[in-house]
Amino acid sequence: MANYTVLVTGGAGYVGSHVVVELLNQGYTPVIIDNFSNSIKGSGSKPEVLLRIERITGKQVTFYEGDIRDKPTLQNVFKKHSFTHVIHTAGMKAVGESIIMPIEYYNCNVGGTICLLEVMKEFSCYNIIFSSSATVYGPPDFLPIDETHHVGRGITNPYGKTKYFIEEILRDLTTADKNWNVVLLRYFNPVGSHKSGLIGENPQGIPQNLMPFVSQVAVGRRESVKVFGTDYDTPDGTGVRDYIHVLDLASGHVAAVNKASEGCGLKLYNLGSGKGYSVLDMIKAMEKASGKQIAYNLAGRREGDIASMYANATLAETELHWKAERGLDEMCEDLWRWQSSNPNGY
């Protein structure tokens, strides 16, 4: 195996920490940069995460505290390591918050990416794997949604637009300069945690995503879940989404590192399970995993929500030799192990 040294931006966050564990387990050398200053509703990266990664892997983690918008800090990190790849997971990620704070989202997500790309070019590191999102598709014209679906139309929030704009920047970059190899990973909905229960999703404030909220109800931190929309054209009337185990997501990043190493140019892949589960399906699965009854209240639709969204992930299976291996029960069991072991997060 090639000895790749991989900078993971946002490597102390939810997805980033699981990616770092997978890289270490596969024999790569990850280096983390994270500023620990997630927005109020962000994923809540904390210094404790680094100690837990080391406990899980038995390996030391190289870490720098810094913001990717701070060019001198980035340059200093690049001077100390000969990076072969960057996995770019840093960014603000709460949909609702992005509507209230659009300038901050554009500054952090788009501005931070441009700064990162400038420093990568300066140090001749031309391989980047970017954490994009299924939000770039907007409302789906067909299901399951594949990579041929149009992007950028009907995106309802600044968070999704920042992902779309960054994709376009990276697309233009590969057109202009053939040195670059870019893999865009369009995540669906990550769920679960590492088997150890030591690292997991740690939302600050009120969780913006369904499953952290459901698990907090199960552990007694919150009274009930509000289910928005009960009259969608779905089997039980509630919204249907594609959920993917965070460990499957992490292994997808390692597969993407290997793809970039082939000199792939621009590639884009859905990372999803290919299955749709409703809100009520997810609540029932969490009840089964936790052995707790989860109270929920039915409410009207939220503006901007869509009925169903799930992936066709066959391109990733064909080209990355990757597919989601873990099912719904395992996602919920692992989420419950994390939540019950860490009822208040890190």
Catalytic residue numbers, as ranges: 159
Pick the closest to residue 187 from 60, 266, 93, 102 (CA basis): 93
Task: Please answer whether residues 83 and 30 qualify as being in contact, where contact means their C-beta atoms are separated by less than 8 angstroms.
Answer: no
Token digits of residue 68: 């990717």
Q: DSSP characters for 116-144? A: HHHHHHHTT--EEEEEEEGGGG-S-SSSS
Element (H, E) at 241: strand 240-241
Query: Which residues are CB-neighbours of 112 under 8 A, at least 6 positions away?
Result: 9, 67, 68, 69, 90, 91
Cβ-Cβ contacts under 8 Å for 72 (sequence gap 6 or more): none
Cβ contact 93:16 at 8 Å: no
Beta strands in 1-122 (DSSP E): 5-9, 29-34, 62-65, 85-88
Q: Evaluate whether 165 touches 135 at the Cβ level (below 8 Å).
A: no
Query: Is residue 187 helix, strand or coil?
Result: strand
CA distances to 130, 269, 274 from 315, in Å: 17, 7, 11
Beta bridge partners of 133: 187
Cα(117)–Cα(120) distance, rounded to whole angstroms?
Answer: 5
C-alpha to C-alpha distances, 294 to 112, 147, 211, 225, 288, nearest whole angstrom: 39, 36, 12, 8, 10
Could you give the 3-state DSSP secondary structure of residue 321?
A: coil
User: 162 with 109: CB under 8 angstroms?
Assistant: yes
Length, in residues, of the chain: 346
